[in-house]
Amino acid sequence: MGVRGPVPKRSDQKLGHPTKAGASRTTKAPAGPSREVPASDAKWHPVARGWFESLAKSGQSRFYEPSDWATAYLIAESMTRDLNPQFVGFQFTGKGEQQEAVFETIPLKGASLSAYLKAMSNLLVTEGDRRRVQLELQRGGEVDRDELAADEATNVYRARFGA
């Protein structure tokens, strides 16, 4: 399980000697899915569908099991219900007292947003969530500018002092 507190630094940004716990517990994985990804529902709200489809493009999804996809599906379904117009009451249309149902888009409740964010955190949706469980995604071809600068400085030092 992850740790509480501030988001830890990436392993390549930590200073000092690697500790036994810190060096051996970080899992690195190449970005990109490796399993069959379920299709989103065309009836979902665009925000929910976009979020669900973004999971398939995210690197942590390579670790998802069918139960994780089922959780994501449930979140997207619930988000759709909260984001679509909801019943707010009846409107009387005249003296015959005919009632007409009124549906309005209402603001997302704080408790719902909190529940979604917690569920998304369990799916390791954000960088901070992944760092807390010591999972770092690496994209192919990424250049670490700090590492390049350090290599260049080392080369200059070697050339100057014959080391």
Burial of 4 (0-12, 13-18, 19+ CB in 10 A): exposed
- Residue 5 falls inside a structural domain: no
- Residue 58 falls inside a structural domain: yes
The predicted structure's pLDDT at residue 121: 92
Q: How many helices (H) and strands (E) does the chain have?
A: 6, 4
- Residue 2 falls inside a structural domain: no
CB 123, CB 55: distance < 8 Å: yes
The predicted structure's pLDDT at residue 85: 92
CB 136, CB 10: distance < 8 Å: yes
The predicted structure's pLDDT at residue 3: 59
Reported pTM: 0.64
The predicted structure's pLDDT at residue 21: 47
H-helix or E-strand spanning residue 102: strand 99-104
DSSP string, 121-163: HHTT-SHHHHHHTTEEEE-TT---HHHHHHHHHHHHHHHHHT-
Beta pairing, strands 135-138 & 99-104: unpaired
- Residue 8 falls inside a structural domain: no
Beta pairing, strands 99-104 & 86-92: antiparallel
Beta pairing, strands 27-30 & 135-138: parallel
Can you name the residues that pair with 89 across neighbouring β-strands?
A: 102
Per-residue pLDDT of the chain (163 residues; tens, 9 = 90+): 555 677 777 666 766 655 544 455 666 666 555 567 889 999 999 999 999 999 989 888 888 888 899 999 999 999 999 999 988 888 887 766 778 888 888 899 999 999 999 999 999 998 888 888 888 887 776 666 777 777 778 877 777 787 5
- Residue 133 falls inside a structural domain: yes
- Residue 116 falls inside a structural domain: yes
- Residue 6 falls inside a structural domain: no
- Residue 11 falls inside a structural domain: no
Count CB-CB contacts under 10 A for residue 105.
11
Q: Name the domain count of the chain.
A: 1
